[in-house]
Structure 1
Amino acid sequence: MNDLDPEELHQVLSRSAAALVERVADDAPEAVLTRLCSAAVVNVPGVDHAGLTMRDRDGNLFSYGSADPLVAELDALQAELAEGPCVDAALPGTTTTVHVEDFVGETRWPRFSAAARDRGVRGLLSFAMAPVEESPGALNLYARTPRAFGEPARLMAGAFATQAAIALYGARRIEGLTDAVETRDVIGQAKGILMERFTIDDRAAFDLLVSLSQDSNRKLVDVARWLTTEAGTAAGRTAADPVPARRAGTGARRSAPKR
């Protein structure tokens, strides 16, 4: 296997990063990660198959980011056997890289190693990539040739793992930020409705929302959504599922509708 010089490494990673940034705004994370795994197969020396293994909140393993049936089969085997390099790399708090030079003679996971050899897989690199307090995950690169991953390949593969982590966990955090912004907006709309309806100030409107939330045993944002929906209905229409309320706090001139 020919070694890669730093300039070649830089060019490959730059192309991959540019493609990722160009499409990430329009594509779902699954599509971005599938493309990234495909790029790893094309660009990282020795890689024949690539995919990601993730753990859900219950600790179950599942495949992510690959349309390769062999990757899905290998992931499913590791989940079934409860052993394998991806199982170890996707443990909570793990930050290490698992490197298998050759599954022939590998003793750490005897049952999975035998299954991998039966399917023509000889080597593997598995990169733990989850940030703190995120669901564990790993980028897994499989080789059909033993001792396929030299130092340049491991360096490049690690960079792809970093990109995968940015695409996956960054998208999740952006999604969470979007939810937070939407929550803030709907609460702001609900406060505006209450301020106009009861001629109260911003603080009193928020206190009334809190009171509605407590009395109805609903989340504050759910009460806010109900109010904004109710306000958009035809004038004089009674809501199908009204929210009970107590009398408004300081500054309120009349009480909110009761059940």
Structure 2
Amino acid sequence: MVDWLLDTDSLQEFLEHLVEDALAVCDADGCGVTVQRRRRPLTVVSTGTMAGKLDEKQYGLGDGPCLQALRTGEVVHVRDVLREERWNSYPAYAAAHGVRSSLSLPIPVGTRTAGALNFYATTPDAFTDRDRLRLGEFAAQAGGGFALALRLADVEDFARDLQAAMLSRSVIDQAIGAVMQQRRCSADDAFALLREVSQETNTKLRDVCARLLTDISGRPPTPQPPLRPRP
């Protein structure tokens, strides 16, 4: 659901600033933002030398605190990886890379979880209950950024669909006019004839019209100019 997120530069910049601000209010030594892309987890923002490595380790295992937060929509708090028995070889890997505790918070977008905000620390019990509350606010802000990017993407998709519809309408209208002139018939009769050809040949109406106009003029039809926003 978040392929469009990775192509939104403003969202990327927003997440980078958000992560920096979040690290300033807690004792974490690194942070990563995990999202799901083409059904695979991906780190889109990472700070510190350890966050990216630990995220990738979890992706390789198919399990870990950040993936659990992403899948369940619940906060996952690891107080000390040396006392952790979940996630197979991940705790030992984290300890070997100097990480002793972590906090993974789901990033909500409406009723869904769009990703996870993952904090890593070199000391055990680095995250307090107050940290969970404060960092939860950052996760909510990230969700707001995701939701805004999604709304903008929906608007762009609608504009593209509308433009395509208008281009098709232009070609169809030109073809109706050509048939009216050739057959000396009404617009309704011309449209009915074109639709009949479309159905009989199992060809899209726009393609039938475009072919007709090309045969008449010797060149492809010229569509209406694209919509442009008002200044």
Q: Which residue matches 1:56?
A: 37
Residue by residue over 1:230-258, the C-alpha shift from the partner in whole angstroms, topping out at 9 and shown as x without a partner, is: x9x9x945349xxxxxxxxxxxxxxxxxx
Q: Are the structure 2 counterparts of residues 173 and 216 from structure 1 closer, same or farther at C-alpha, using a change threshold of 3 Å?
A: farther
Deviation at 1:162, TM superposition (A): 0.9
**1:29 paired residue number:** 11
C-alpha distance after superposition, 1:155-199 (max 9, x if no partner):
110011011122224313321221112211331243134324424
The equivalent residue for 2:56 is 76
- Among 210, 215, 226, the alignment partner of 2:202 is 215
Q: CA deviation at 1:103?
A: 1.3
1:78-109 deviation per Cα after TM superposition (whole angstroms, max 9, x unaligned): 11122210121122xx2211011121211123
Identity %: 30
- Would you say 1:146 and 2:124 are equivalent positions? yes
Deviation at 1:76, TM superposition (A): 1.0
Secondary structure of 1:146 counterpart: coil
> Unaligned regions of 5+ residues in structure 1, if any?
1-25, 241-259
| Count, aligned residues | 195
* Unpaired stretches in structure 2, ≥5 consecutive residues: 1-7, 178-186, 222-231
SS in 1 for 2:46: coil
Name the counterpart of 2:86: 108
Structure 2 CA distance for partners of 1:70 and 1:191, relative to 1, 3 Å: same
SS of structure 1 residue aligned to 2:126:
coil
TM (normalized to structure 2)?
A: 0.70
One-letter amino acid matched to 1:80: G
Does the aligned pair in 1 maintain the 2:114–2:146 contact within 8 Å?
no
The structure in which a higher percent of residues are strand is 2
Distance 2:119 2:52 in 1: 13
The equivalent position to 1:85 in structure 2, one of 40, 54, 65, is 65
Structure 1 distance, partners of 2:128, 2:113, is: 29
CA distance in 1, matches of 2:158, 2:49: 37
Q: Secondary structure at the match of 1:28?
A: helix
What is the CA–CA distance in structure 1 between the aligned matches of 2:16 and 2:202, rounded to whole Å?
Answer: 47
Residues 70 and 41 from structure 1, CA distance in 2 versus in 1: closer, same or farther, beyond 3 angstroms? same
- The Cα RMSD (Å) is 3.4
Deviation at 1:32, TM superposition (A): 2.0
**Change in 2 beyond 3 A, CA 1:29/1:197:** same
Give the partner amino acid of 1:180.
Answer: F
Q: Compare the two structures and name the one with the higher helix fraction.
A: 2
| Matched residue SS, 1:124 | strand
In the superposition, relative to structure 1, how do residues 103 and 189 fare at CA in structure 2: closer, same or farther (>3 Å)?
same
Note if 1:182 corresponds to 2:160.
yes
Question: 1:109 is matched by which residue type in structure 2?
Answer: W
Q: Which runs of 4+ in 1 moved over 3 A?
A: 130-136, 214-217
Q: Distance in 1 between matches of 2:217 and 2:173?
A: 19
**1:188–1:53: structure 2 CA closer, same or farther, 3 Å change rule?**
same
**CA-to-aligned-CA distance 1:36-89 (integer Å, 9 cap, x gap):** 2122112x221221111122333x222112254422211111111222101211
Question: C-alpha separation between the residues in 2 aligned to 1:117 and 1:151?
Answer: 23
